């Protein structure tokens, strides 16, 4: 049975507590070679010129296995063998300027947006799900629904690893709910 943060509020709180408090992750990253790159219309970041890109160093320190895509994003694959499902998640290769700091996006695609958009019931469900999740929310970029978490760029590798895990789990749960498939 596939675990859902919506179905198991305690699991969701635990995962988000891990994200905020820095405890150990609950899923493992797998080889990213057999999953597609994000669509060209995935969330785009504004490069902050004076911030050194140390994301690779931070992820390497956590032992996160990733690939860099052509946009410079860090692509990580998560696999849940019991459910026979996998999910890709990304850390943006660039940061958004925010005051005197920067924010970096962690995102995971959940589903293609149907032609004509989501139904009113689906849109309502996505908005309510965004409200229930403490950190992050659902966004549409182009024709893809993403779960997006925005973190201060100075967060350590453990925080980014946990954000990747949470985004991947929530996106995979939503993909299953909306499509019943494992395409992303």
DSSP character string of 119-179 = -HHHHHHHHHHHHHSSS-EEEEETTEEEEEEEEETT--HHHHHHHHHHHHHHHHHHHHHHH
Is 1 within a domain?
A: no
Is 66 within a domain?
A: yes
Is 53 within a domain?
A: yes
Structural contact between residues 147 and 110, judged by C-beta atoms closer than 8 angstroms: yes
Is 184 within a domain?
A: no
Name the percent of the chain in helix, strand, coil, to the closest 5. 30, 25, 45
Q: How many domains does the chain have?
A: 1
Is 25 within a domain?
A: yes
pLDDT of residue 31: 42
Q: Cα separation of 142 and 83, whole Å?
A: 29
Provide the residue range defining the domain that includes 57.
9-179
Going residue by residue through the chain, which has 184 residues, state the pLDDT in tens, using 9 for 90 and above: 333 333 333 333 334 334 333 433 333 344 444 445 555 554 444 454 434 468 898 998 999 999 999 888 999 999 888 878 889 999 998 898 988 889 999 999 999 999 988 899 999 989 988 888 889 999 999 999 999 999 999 999 999 999 999 999 999 988 988 877 776 6
CATH of the domain at 162: 3.30.1460.10
- What is the value of pTM for the model shown? 0.70
Structural contact between residues 159 and 22, judged by C-beta atoms closer than 8 angstroms: yes
pLDDT of residue 158: 92
Is 19 within a domain?
A: yes
């Amino acid at each position: 049975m596939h675990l859902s943060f919506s179905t198991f509020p305690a699991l969701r709180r635990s995962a988000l507590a891990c994200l905020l408090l820095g405890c150990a992750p609950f899923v493992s990253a797998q080889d990213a070679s057999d999953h597609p790159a994000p669509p060209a219309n995935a969330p785009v970041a504004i490069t902050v010129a004076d911030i050194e890109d140390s994301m690779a160093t931070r992820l390497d320190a956590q032992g996160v296995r990733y690939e860099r895509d052509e946009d410079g994003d860090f692509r990580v694959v998560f696999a849940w063998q019991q459910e026979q499902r996998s999910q890709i998640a990304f850390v943006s290769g660039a940061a958004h300027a925010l005051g005197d700091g920067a924010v970096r996006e962690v995102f995971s695609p959940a589903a293609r947006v149907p032609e004509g958009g989501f139904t009113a019931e689906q849109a309502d469900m996505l908005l309510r799900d965004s409200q229930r999740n403490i950190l992050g929310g659902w966004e549409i970029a182009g024709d893809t629904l993403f779960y997006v978490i925005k973190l201060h760029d100075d967060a350590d590798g453990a925080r980014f690893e946990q954000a990747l895990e949470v985004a991947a789990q929530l996106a995979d749960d939503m993909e299953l709910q909306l499509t019943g498939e494992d395409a992303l």
